[in-house]
Structure 1
């Protein structure tokens, strides 16, 4: 059932309705920025009108405060976002710097290790080369001595009529050295040679050391250049202590070659 008002009985809006409309109008006017231009003439009309519009001014102030709080909150959120972005950027930069520093440290370590390895290998090569040279070097059989009887000297002292080697001046008991690297093939009594040692050298030649007072090596033993193999003496067919030295192409008597040329050919100054 519908109710209608009687014709001609129009009534003004209630106070509550008027207040509601005012607040709604304030919201609209505040959003469009025309509150000041619309409200000012009405507020200036009369003191009574100003008194009645007090709620409007309060609503405007409340709207301004709300807008300020919203703006402040937005500013705070933006500042927080900017701070977070700056922090993330700084952390990323720090991580990049740390990574690059680590890479440089690893590269420096690798270079240092490679350098140390190269130096170590160079030292090892040098040591091997020095040892190779030492083992392939030749020395005089008696240090600081000289040749007292030359090769092929003639005399009735030798059964063949000539000297098959050279004699080095050496007092009895002087140290006798292997002239080079080789293997002992004879160590013992050698008849006219007395106590003697024969060494097969690494180049295939042979060297003999005679008239020794004592022997320091045995057959099958490997010797190196400068190694002491015995002591000089006067055993066998001699007139006094000395070292008889021969160079040979074979292990037996009669295969002798010039010992001076042999030693000089191997770098020994005699």
Structure 2
């Protein structure tokens, strides 16, 4: 009689299922007494011979194939786990590299910020010192007529300031920081400028050929404020320079001592 296999998908029983089926079969044979019958040497020889039945050979082939499939599945599982572990390690290494790069970038930015702030502080300090510094009204010049020098050239009978040697048109500079309180004609002083210094004292620049600042203007040390000349009561081009305690004539103090007191080498 022909055997018709049921339609649909079929899977080969697992090794555990096959093993359970074999045990069940042996138990059934024992129950029916067939085991006792198989005790006969002749029958035992017949039933265990692969050539006679092919049963043992079929089971052996099936088990070998199952072992190969199981081994392949285990190898694939191990490979998958290894790949996953490798990927995880790579992701961890990449994250660590990014973290270190971010830290390095942050440190570099903080260092650059500190350096920038240090430079800015140094620049501010340098500017503060510059604004509080003093210098000669004509750099490189020298005093040609001293303070309190007597003579008929001065209405008071003595020189109320000092004269700095200068050819006509030489640049005249503010000796320090301050605010212009007078800029124009000053009688015997000719064209003159008076500056109230930041320390509360006053400086005057006389006999100018040209004035380059206006009243109310702030000036800094070394800023050009005019050009030397010989205007007013003057016998020739030079710069008349005074230091005063007020903007008015008669409040003069020794200009050389004044400049030296502010660190200027005169």
TM range (shorter): 0.7 to 0.9
Tell me how far apart the structure 1 counterparts of residues 76 and 93 of structure 2 sit (CA, whole Å).
Answer: 25
RMSD of aligned residue pairs (Cα, Å):
2.6
State the 1:55 CA deviation.
7.6
Report the counterpart of residue 108 of structure 2 in structure 1: 112
Tell me how far apart the structure 2 counterparts of residues 149 and 41 of structure 1 sit (CA, whole Å).
Answer: 152
Report the counterpart of residue 161 of structure 2 in structure 1: 165
TM-score in terms of structure 1 length: 0.80
Structure 1, unaligned stretches of length 5 or more?
A: 1-22, 30-37
Give yes or no for contact 1:26–1:60 (8 Å, CA) kept in 2: no
Instruction: State the SS of the aligned residue for 1:114.
Output: helix
Report the counterpart of residue 69 of structure 1 in structure 2: 65
Structure 2, unaligned stretches of length 5 or more?
A: 1-20, 28-36
| Largest Rg, 1 or 2 | 1
Report the counterpart of residue 10 of structure 2 in structure 1: none
Q: Which moved more, 1:219-228 or 1:53-62?
A: 53-62
Report the counterpart of residue 17 of structure 1 in structure 2: none
Aligned residues between the structures? 237
Report the counterpart of residue 28 of structure 1 in structure 2: 26
Matched ranges for 1:114-263 at <5 A: 114-263=110-259
Tell me how far apart the structure 2 counterparts of residues 207 and 198 of structure 1 sit (CA, whole Å).
Answer: 6
TM-score in terms of structure 2 length: 0.81
Alpha-carbon spacing, 1:263–1:43, altered in 2? closer, same or farther (3 Å):
farther
**Which whole-Å deviations, capped at 9, do the CAs of 1:117-163 have from their partners, x for residues lacking one?**
12222222222222222222211111211001111111122222221
State the 1:109 CA deviation.
0.8
Runs of 4+ in 1 over 4 A off after TM superposition: 23-27, 38-41, 51-57
Report the counterpart of residue 15 of structure 2 in structure 1: none
Tell me how far apart the structure 1 counterparts of residues 255 and 48 of structure 2 sit (CA, whole Å).
Answer: 143
Tell me how far apart the structure 2 counterparts of residues 238 and 207 of structure 1 sit (CA, whole Å).
Answer: 19
Report the counterpart of residue 16 of structure 2 in structure 1: none
Alpha-carbon spacing, 1:52–1:99, altered in 2? closer, same or farther (3 Å):
closer
Give yes or no for contact 2:243–2:254 (8 Å, CA) kept in 1: yes
**Which whole-Å deviations, capped at 9, do the CAs of 1:209-248 have from their partners, x for residues lacking one?**
0111121111111111111111111112222221110011
Report the counterpart of residue 42 of structure 1 in structure 2: 41
Alpha-carbon spacing, 1:241–1:58, altered in 2? closer, same or farther (3 Å):
same
Alpha-carbon spacing, 1:72–1:51, altered in 2? closer, same or farther (3 Å):
closer
Give yes or no for contact 2:180–2:217 (8 Å, CA) kept in 1: yes
